[in-house]
Amino acid sequence: MRDAFKYLTSIIFAAVVVQVALAGYGAFYAVDKADDNDSVSKHTIEHGFNAHAIVGTIIVVVMLLLLIVALAGRLGSRWVKWSAVVLLLGILQIVFAAIGAAVPALGFLHAVNALAIYAAAGLMAHRAWTQRPASEAAA
């Protein structure tokens, strides 16, 4: 289970990087599709961000799987807590996307939370690969 946990942390971290790339694609797709009168339809913008939304949902599912692996693998309370925090950030990311769509001035919460996910996932992946579990260190 420890190996599964390590790989899942790395997958989440890499997927967050892909998410940022997909957000960039969505933004530049909208700019590219701008009409001559500098207007872009909502449909065009949504089309550009579809992959971002789909991958984001998949990432949250993988975050849930990570928490399940941490619990089932009895990897220790530290990994369970970190996994729960990352999952909570993932759920908040979906909430912040909805809030940003309803109140654009609050859309910054989605971007700032993405940075928190990136940092937490990167730190967790690094530690999962470089630190031994407490049970191994004590032996």
Residue 4 and residue 73: Cα distance in Å, rounded? 9
Would 38 be classed as within a structural domain? yes
> Quick check: helix, strand or coil at residue 106?
helix
Residue with the larger pLDDT of the pair 20 and 137: 20
Would 95 be classed as within a structural domain? yes
Would 137 be classed as within a structural domain? no
Would 139 be classed as within a structural domain? no
Domain count, the chain: 1
Show Cβ contacts of residue 122 under 8 Å, excluding neighbours closer than 6 positions: 13
pLDDT for the residue numbered 46: 86
Would 100 be classed as within a structural domain? yes
Would 97 be classed as within a structural domain? yes
| pLDDT higher than 70, residue 135 | no
The residue segments making up the domain with residue 23 are 2-132
> 139: pLDDT confidence band, cut at 50, 70 and 90?
very low
- What value does the mean pLDDT of the chain take? 90
| pLDDT higher than 90, residue 56 | yes
> 134: pLDDT confidence band, cut at 50, 70 and 90?
low
